[in-house]
Amino acid sequence: MTEHKRPKWADWADHIRALDDPAKNFEKPEALDDLTVIDLSSRSMAGPYCTSLLAELGAETIRIEPPGGDLVRSYSPNGVMHRGTGMAYLQEGRNKYHVTLNLETEAGRDMLRSLVGQADILIETFPAGKMDNWGIGYEELAKLNPRLIYASITGYGQFGPESGRNQYDYDNVAQARSGVQYATGEVLPEGKTIAEVPYATSTKAGPWIAWAVSGTFGALGILAAVYHREMTGEGQAIDISTPEAYERLNDYMLHWYADQGVINERFGNLDTCLWLYGFYPTKDGGVFLGGLRLEMWKAFVDIIGKYDEWGAEQWTTLAPFMKKDWQLKYQAMINPETEQYTSQELTMKSIEYAKRGRLAPITPVVAEIVPPWNTMHDEVWRDRGVFTPVQDPVYGSIICAQAQWKSTETPPRTKWVCRPVGYDNGYVYLKYLGYGPAKLRELTEQGII
């Protein structure tokens, strides 16, 4: 790569960095350090993800698991464990205090009631009705603490014809129910069957995106409820269904069917709505190419040296390029061109074009499609604090995705990544319930903690 010459606005970059560099996060206050959160999540990572977001902002978060721990601790590729914890929970136990409590016992439920009396927020992910059957549903708990904000994240919600299903919420099932998986994937080549090309089918996203989206909507709804509570003193119940939360990000497909009867079908690595917008092959892999304005598309055509041959000068609108037949036609024309370059070469061509191209400073978006391994080792993201390892007292130095946003005043931060099952029983039960070692021994013998 040529040596980087800093832009004219470099003083702005330096100024902002001085104000919001995540390296200085621990010098700053925490937005939610006045709030106490109880996390009763079971089997679903949407709940722990939601409470992670609150705990990263300073909320004192008490994660309650059954004795022996929640199933989520076993979630891990190939069953890999690090000091007894799977890779997933090694990220989403972050900043939380971990206690055990047996909610199958009345004594355990009484302890929960005492905690709720002192809490601001409770999150649970049991199938609807389970908490009510235990006598610790929203109605009962709101009597003890009318300021309580009670959020449930489930597969089917707290009301509606399917809400009675006694089924837990899993990410892959939610992705299937959202309508997004249906429309994503490779197109079946003409004349082939699914048996011959089993990968040309509806395909879910690899990450737990449905859980992440419902957990984040959960955090957003909770913070909005906190705002309302500060104004009025009133707590409330919040109901989120994971497939709905993810489906909300599924933009126009609902409306298209209602108005035109069109079911949005898979369109491979092109985009039903957008041009230029897709993945294209290169000599050593592939790149994303994007340009949603006519000039950006022309600039791309210029970069690959087809400006005159394809008649780009005459184009006055992007409109015809969004049609299906044109998309396929131009895709076939672009593929052999991009294949002549490496991904890095094309990326640098785009950056150079912004400086010297005939349409400069306009240039298309070119981005290499990288494996997560490269992402994690990319110096730019590291410099921006995304992969700063957390020095955990129990688990050692662990790389944790963080600094998802930067801020001058109350940025999110990660203090520890996880805790073993019941690790904080001593601290939490002493602080909130006044229980010392003798009482805890008694509760352990009774199977309550």
Partner 1 sequence: MPDVFKDYVKKKFSRPGPLKGVRVLEVCTLLFGPSGPSFLAEMGAEVIKIELPPVGDVTRSLNPFGWFYKEQSPMFMHINPNKYYMALDLHIDLGQQIFKELAAKADIIEFNLRPGVTRRWNIGYEQIKEVNPGIIYIEKNGFGQWGLYAEQDRPSNDGASQALSGYAWMSSFPKRPPLKQAIWICDYYGGLMGEVAILAALHHRRKTGRGQFIEMSQTENIMRVMNWVWPYQQLTGKGVEAAGNRDQCICPADTFLCADDRLAALAAPAPEEFLGLCRAMGREELASDPRFQEHSVRLQDENTLEILKIIAAWARTKTADEIEALGKEFGFSATRLHNAKDMNEDPHRRQRGFVKEIDDPLYGYYVEHEFPVMMSKTPPKIKWTVRPVGFDNEFIMAKILGRNQAQIDELYLHGVLGKWKDMQGRRPPSDWDGQAGAIIRR
Computed from CA positions of residues 408, 410, 415, 418, in that sequence, does the dihedral angle turn out positive or negative? negative
Choose between 107 and 263: whose C-beta lies nearer to partner 1: 263
Go through 44-77 and write b for each residue having 16 or more CB atoms within 10 A of its CB, e for each that does not.
bbbbbbbbbbbbbbbbbbbbbbbeebbebbebbe
Cβ closest to partner 1, residue 173 vs residue 333? 173
Give the Cβ contact number of residue 408 at 10 Å: 11
- Of 100 and 350, which has the nearer Cβ to partner 1? 350
Task: Indicate the residue among 96 and 177 with the shorter CB distance to partner 1.
Answer: 177
Please state, in angstroms and as integers, the Cα–Cα distance from residue 334 to each residue in 154, 211, 272, 275, 319, following that order: 44, 36, 18, 13, 18
Q: Give least dist CB 245 to partner 1, A.
A: 4
CB of 440 to partner 1, least distance (A): 28
117 residue type, one letter: G
CB of 209 to partner 1, least distance (A): 6
CB count, 10 Å around CB of 439?
Answer: 14
Q: Containing H/E element for 373?
A: helix 372-377
Q: For residues 54 and 111, which CB has a smaller minimum distance to partner 1 in the complex? A: 54
Cβ nearer to partner 1, comparing 52 with 425:
52
Q: Are 275 and 318 in contact (CB under 8 A)?
A: yes
Hey, how many other C-beta atoms are within 10 angstroms of the C-beta on 448? 21
Residue located via tokens 């013998």? 445
- In DSSP terms, which residues pair with 37 in a beta bridge? 61, 121
Using alpha carbons, select from 119, 124, 164 the residue that is nearest to residue 146. Answer: 119
Q: Among residues 236 and 342, whose Cβ is nearest to partner 1?
A: 236
CB of 441 to partner 1, least distance (A): 29
Q: For partner 1, give the closer residue by CB, 55 or 443.
A: 55
Q: Are β-strands 36-39 and 121-124 bridged in parallel, bridged antiparallel, or unpaired?
A: parallel
Closest approach of partner 1 to the CB of residue 125, in Å: 12
Q: Which two tokens stand for residue 156?
A: 């089917």
Please give the Cα distance from 274 to 256 (Å, whole number): 15
